[in-house]
Amino acid sequence: MKRRDLLYAVLALLVIWQALTWLVHRDILPAPWQVVQALVSELLYGELAKHFLASLWRVVASTALSIALAAPAGLLLGQSRRLNSLLSPLIYLLYPIPKVVFLPIILLFLGIGDTPKIAIIFLILFFQVLVLVRDQAAALRPELLLSVRSLGAGRRALFWYVYLPASLPAILTALRQSVGTAVAVLYVAELFATQKGLGYYIYFNGSTLFNYPAMYAGIIAMSLLGLGLYFSVDWMERKLCPWQFIK
């Protein structure tokens, strides 16, 4: 996608937003310009930056944790047919459950602070990465594995030279698919038992202070967080998997 097209899309959204503001004409929908002013002043003089960093830390930590645990587990399951057939019924049952419903239980067990927020996003991402990496590793052509084995590769070398690079696109696809869900769940998780994070900031400004421009500034910050993560995954894919972009 061209940067120019993205810019046009942003401009179109701003125009629609402004038109809606004129149409609705109520405090609960301030004009984009008001929100941009609020965003800048909240970032520079308010506490938006602190909340943004708190949310960023939670989502980055949970993503890193889920990749660190789910990718090796997926590789292991993809390589071992026996282990996969043993565990796949369990994964089959757990995968489709909307993990966000476990939030109250996680809060009860892990209490307040960052840990329960990181844990719930981790749970969602873990299964996405696990399933995609497992399927990718299992779908590797046997001819490829045999040809590398014939060069003398054992399990360790197969892991480094075949399974791991073959699974990178699956890990990044899982991340791209999950970024939206992760940020949405982060918002829900930050409504409970915390005074830090964009979820808390948005809710507090909207429902307690009735500072609508600040609330929208929080929403924009959260959208930028999601977009930033999405673009980061894109960038990583271009850096780590250049062979996927050849013409």
Residue from 89, 93, 154, 208 in contact with other proteins (CB under 8 A): 154
Task: Work out whether 132 is an interface residue with other proteins (CB under 8 A).
Answer: no
Residue from 22, 156, 208, 239 in contact with other proteins (CB under 8 A): 156
Task: Work out whether 239 is an interface residue with other proteins (CB under 8 A).
Answer: no
- Please check whether residue 162 is in contact with residue 145, taking contact to mean a CB–CB distance below 8 angstroms: yes
Of the listed pieces 64-72, 145-153, 215-223, 226-234, which binds other proteins according to CB under 8 A?
Answer: 145-153
Give the relative orientation of helices 164-189 and 103-110 as an angle to the nearest 10 degrees.
80
Task: Work out whether 241 is an interface residue with other proteins (CB under 8 A).
Answer: yes
Residue from 23, 89, 101, 143 in contact with other proteins (CB under 8 A): 143
* Alpha-carbon dihedral sign for residues 123, 99, 137, 235: negative
d(CA 146, CA 123): 35
Tokens of 50: 């602190």
Task: Work out whether 208 is an interface residue with other proteins (CB under 8 A).
Answer: no
Binding mask 168-187 for other proteins (x = CB under 8 A): x-------------------
Q: Which is nearer to other proteins, 85 or 195 (CB)?
A: 85
Residue from 130, 133, 166, 182 in contact with other proteins (CB under 8 A): 166
End-to-end CA distance of the chain: 16
Residue from 25, 27, 146, 239 in contact with other proteins (CB under 8 A): 146
DSSP 56-104: HHHHHHHHHHHHHHHHHHHHHHHH-HHHHHHHHHHHHHHTTS-GGGGHH
Q: Which amino acid makes up residue 113?
A: G
d(CA 24, CA 9): 22
Residue from 40, 112, 144, 209 in contact with other proteins (CB under 8 A): 144
Task: Work out whether 48 is an interface residue with other proteins (CB under 8 A).
Answer: no
Of the listed pieces 68-76, 83-91, 144-152, 200-208, which binds other proteins according to CB under 8 A?
Answer: 144-152
d(CA 178, CA 181): 5
d(CA 149, CA 72): 20
Of the listed pieces 30-38, 82-90, 97-105, 239-247, which binds other proteins according to CB under 8 A?
Answer: 239-247
d(CA 189, CA 199): 8
Query: Which residues bind to other proteins, rule: CB under 8 A?
Result: 141, 143-144, 146-154, 156-157, 161-162, 165-166, 168, 241-243, 246
